[in-house]
Copies of this chain bind each other. A is one copy, B any other.
Amino acid sequence: MRGREFDAVVLGAGPPGEVCAGRLAERGLEVAIVEPRLVGGECSFYACMPSKALLRPIELTHESHRVPGVTVGELDAHAVLERRDQVIGNLDDSGQVPWLEDRGIVLVRARGRLDGERRVRAGDDVLVARRAVVVATGSTPLVPPIPGLAEARPWTNIEATTSREVPGRLVILGGGVVGVEMAQAWSALGSGVTLVHRGERLIEREEPFASEHVAQGLREAGVEIRLGTSAAKVERGDEITIELDDGTTVVGDEVLAAFGRRPTTDEIGLETVGLEPGGHLRVDEGLRVPGFEWLYAIGDVNGRVLLTHMGKYQGRLAADAILGESVALRSDGVLSPSVIFTDPQVGSVGYTLAGAREAGLEVRAVDVDTGGNAGGSFVGRGAAGTSRLVVDERAGVVVGATFTGPEIQEALHAATIAVVGKVPLDDLWHAVPSFPTRSELWLKLLEAYGL
C-alpha cells in the first residue's frame, strides 16, 4: 500500500508535537500530525491549564487578603470551576485546530503507529515521511499495583483537574507536583484533603526548604499530610478506605493517584522498527533515537524531563534538526526551570545545593528572605519565602536558583537566563533591580555572597 507523503509526520498533538509541527510548517515543510484524542494534549485539557485555572484565584485571594485596602471575600468555588471549564474549552479542541490549519498542517484524527521505516499507519491511512517521524505521544498516569486501587476507580490528573464536583473528602496518594498542587486547589474549593506521601518530604526534587514551605502552606490551608508512608490496600464501598503501611487508615470520597507518569509507547509500533515498546523512547542530545537517522522523540515520551515548556523546547530543537541544523539541548532533566503553583509557589532552575555537590561542583549557597526588601513589603504583609542561589565558585556563575514565596512565577525567568546564559556574577552585580520591586532579592543575594 502506497501512502500519502509528507516531509515530516508527528505522532501526538500535545504541545511538543504542535510546536514541532508548527515550526516545520512555518519553514515550508509538508507536515502531518496524528492525534486520536484532543489537539492540545494533556497539558491544555487535563494538566497545566486547568490546574492553573483552579490555583490562580486561590493565590490571588490570599494575596488580596494580605494587602490592606483591597476588599476581598471568600473564594467563589462555583465561579472558579466555571472559569476552569472555559479555559479548557469544555474539553472541545476546536479552538486549537485553526492554529494547525493556518500553518497548512494536515491533522489526522486517528491512533498512529509506526509501520516500518519512515512509515506511520493512522487508522486506514498510511503516511510516509520523507525526512522524519517525530514521536510525541506523551505519557499516561501511573497507577501502581496496590491491591484494590485500580478497582476503586481512582482520580488521576484527568479527574483532578476537570471534576465539576467538589468531593467532601479527597485522599491524595503522592506528594510530587500534581499531589501538592491538587491538595492546594481542592482544599481551597472545599474538600477535606489528606495527602499521603511515601518520602520523608514533599516535592523531593526541590531544595529541602521548598518542601517545608509548601508543607506549611498546605497545613495552614487545612490539608492533613502523612509522610513516610504509603497505601497498602484500597477498598471502595460507600466511601473509600485506604490502609497505609504504617497500620493507620484514611477515608475519603475520592482518591487521587498522583504517583507519576509512564511513557505512551505500548502501542505505537516501535517493534516494527526493532525498538522495545513500553519504556521511554531514549534520545540523544539532538532528540534523535540513536541508530535511527529519521526518528525523533520529544516531550514526556523520551523521559528526559516531564514539563510542557521543556517538551516544547525539544520540539523546537527537533524541528531545527530536521531542517538541517546542528542542535543540542542546553537545558534538560532536573536542571530545567519549573514552577510549582502552590501558595507559596516554588520556582527553581539548575542545581539544588545537594545536587550540585553530588555533581562534583565546588559550590556555595546563599539564602535571603524572598520578601525581605522594600518591594517585598508590597507583595503583602506576612508573605514569606526563601530565595537561594547556588554559585559555582570556580566558574563565578550561578548554577542553581530556588525561590519560594507568593507570585514568584514571573521572577524565575531572570534566574533561568542567568543559569543557562552562564552570566558572570559581575554582570549580575551591575544588573540593578528596580526599586521598589521584590527583585532586589538579587541584590541581597549577591551581597550575601560577598559582592
Does A395 interact with chain B (Cβ within 8 Å)?
no
Does A109 interact with chain B (Cβ within 8 Å)?
no
A336 and B432 contacting across the interface, CB-CB below 8 Å: yes
Does A338 interact with chain B (Cβ within 8 Å)?
yes
Does A76 interact with chain B (Cβ within 8 Å)?
yes
Alpha-carbon gap, A378 to B51, bound state (A): 11
Alpha-carbon gap, A127 to B423, bound state (A): 42
Contact of A416 among B75, B421, B433 (CB under 8 A): B433
Does A417 interact with chain B (Cβ within 8 Å)?
yes
Contact of A413 among B71, B87, B442 (CB under 8 A): B442
Chain A residue total in the interface (Cβ 8 A): 76
A428-451 vs B, CB cutoff 8 Å, 1 = contact: the mask equals 101111111111101000000000
Alpha-carbon gap, A422 to B423, bound state (A): 9
- In the complex, which residues 400-432 of chain A have their Cβ closer than 8 Å to any Cβ of chain B? 407-414, 416-424, 427-428, 430-432
Does A323 interact with chain B (Cβ within 8 Å)?
no
Does A354 interact with chain B (Cβ within 8 Å)?
no
Does A139 interact with chain B (Cβ within 8 Å)?
no
Alpha-carbon gap, A421 to B411, bound state (A): 17
B331 and A432 contacting across the interface, CB-CB below 8 Å: yes
Alpha-carbon gap, A438 to B339, bound state (A): 12
* Given known A49-B436, A68-B57, A432-B337, contact A73–B75 (CB-CB < 8 A): no
Query: Nearest Cβ in chain B — how far from A100, in angstroms?
Result: 17
Contact of A417 among B75, B338, B427 (CB under 8 A): B427
Query: Which residue in chain B gives the minimum CB-CB distance to A43?
Result: B435
B80 and A68 contacting across the interface, CB-CB below 8 Å: yes
Residues of B within 8 A of A244 (CB): none
Residues of B within 8 A of A48 (CB): 374, 435-436
Does A82 interact with chain B (Cβ within 8 Å)?
yes
Alpha-carbon gap, A64 to B67, bound state (A): 12
B60 and A71 contacting across the interface, CB-CB below 8 Å: no
A324-351 vs B, CB cutoff 8 Å, 1 = contact: the mask equals 0000001100001111000000010000
Query: Nearest Cβ in chain B — how far from A325, in angstroms?
Result: 11
B331 and A430 contacting across the interface, CB-CB below 8 Å: yes
Query: Nearest Cβ in chain B — how far from A305, in angstroms?
Result: 10
B73 and A71 contacting across the interface, CB-CB below 8 Å: yes
Chain A to chain B contacts (Cβ below 8 Å), 30 pairs? A48-B436, A56-B67, A60-B64, A64-B64, A68-B79, A68-B83, A69-B83, A70-B75, A71-B72, A71-B76, A72-B73, A307-B434, A308-B435, A331-B431, A331-B432, A337-B434, A338-B434, A347-B434, A408-B410, A409-B439, A413-B431, A413-B434, A413-B439, A414-B417, A416-B433, A417-B421, A418-B421, A419-B431, A420-B427, A420-B431
